[in-house]
Chains A and B, each alone.
Chain A
Amino acid sequence: DAGITQSPRHKVTETGTPVTLRCHQTENHRYMYWYRQDPGHGLRLIHYSYGVKDTDKGEVSDGYSVSRSKTEDFLLTLESATSSQTSVYFCAISGVGLNTEAFFGQGTRLTVV
């Protein structure tokens, strides 16, 4: 497996609380991504980063923010968690090039009660 570690792997939190998920890579890849996976929707892109301090929104970015202060770390923050953000979150990394595949972490299962 590519060197990607997500933490925590499981989390239960209450509505309205802030939550931060961490993705750490040891591959020195330029691109990092956060996706959420929900039944019937596949994986949907939340935010992505194309370099340190360079980030952009994906298709489902509302309610989420990200930060990347180092090449190896990409943080996803839910400012005020809602039940609709209960999901499985995947981090991915990739190198440069249109034909380069993405490598995925093991996922974080987040439950907002």
Chain B
Amino acid sequence: AQSVTQLDSHVSVSEGTPVLLRCNYSSSYSPSLFWYVQHPNKGLQLLLKYTSAATLVKGINGFEAEFKKSETSFHLTKPSAHMSDAAEYFCVVSDNPSGTYKYIFGTGTRLKVLA
């Protein structure tokens, strides 16, 4: 079975500084990986997804993630944090046992942006 591990439950950065949210995955074959964002009391929004077409994936709001197979990592980055980036972020892997599709979530990283 596939799984994801988000290495930090909380990350704090100052506005204007880089953001790094770490995710490692476990997979027996080539995975599909996603990052979702959840703002307070809101639903989940897709930031970006890795589909094996390119290892560097660009998403919305200036976020990007790099798939590194050798490190089994899919870390999320942004060059310059904005106050509106404060939210919880989830790394997700798509699993498909027996031809059905399931989405396995990490435990989340809460990003705090300091003024």
Contacts and interface: CB of A to CB of B under 8 A. Distances in A.
A32 B92 CA distance: 16
Contacts of A56: 100
Contacts of B94: 98-100
Given A42-B107, A100-B101, 11 more contacts: A31-B100, A42-B106, A43-B90, A44-B105, A48-B100, A58-B102, A90-B43, A100-B94, A104-B44, A105-B43, A107-B43
Interface of B: 6, 9, 32, 34, 36, 42-44, 46, 49, 51-52, 90, 92, 94, 96, 100-108
Query: Which 6 residue pairs of A and B lie closest in terms of their CB atoms, listed nearest first?
Result: A99-B51, A42-B105, A104-B44, A42-B107, A43-B105, A106-B43
Contact of B103 (A1, A33, A41, A50): A33
Given A41-B107, A50-B100, A94-B101, A99 B49 contact: yes
Nearest to A105: B43
A98 B32 contact: yes
B107 A101 contact: no
B107 A40 contact: yes
B60 to A, nearest CB: 12
Interface of A: 1, 31, 33, 35, 40-45, 48, 50, 56, 58, 90, 92, 94, 96-107
Nearest to B4: A42
Contacts of A90: 43-44
Contact of A101 (B6, B42, B46): B46
A45 B44 contact: no
B29 to A, nearest CB: 10
A10 to B, nearest CB: 11
Contacts of B49: 99, 101
A41 B49 CA distance: 22
A17 B105 CA distance: 30
12 contacts: A31-B100, A31-B101, A42-B105, A43-B90, A45-B104, A48-B100, A97-B101, A98-B96, A98-B101, A99-B32, A101-B34, A102-B34
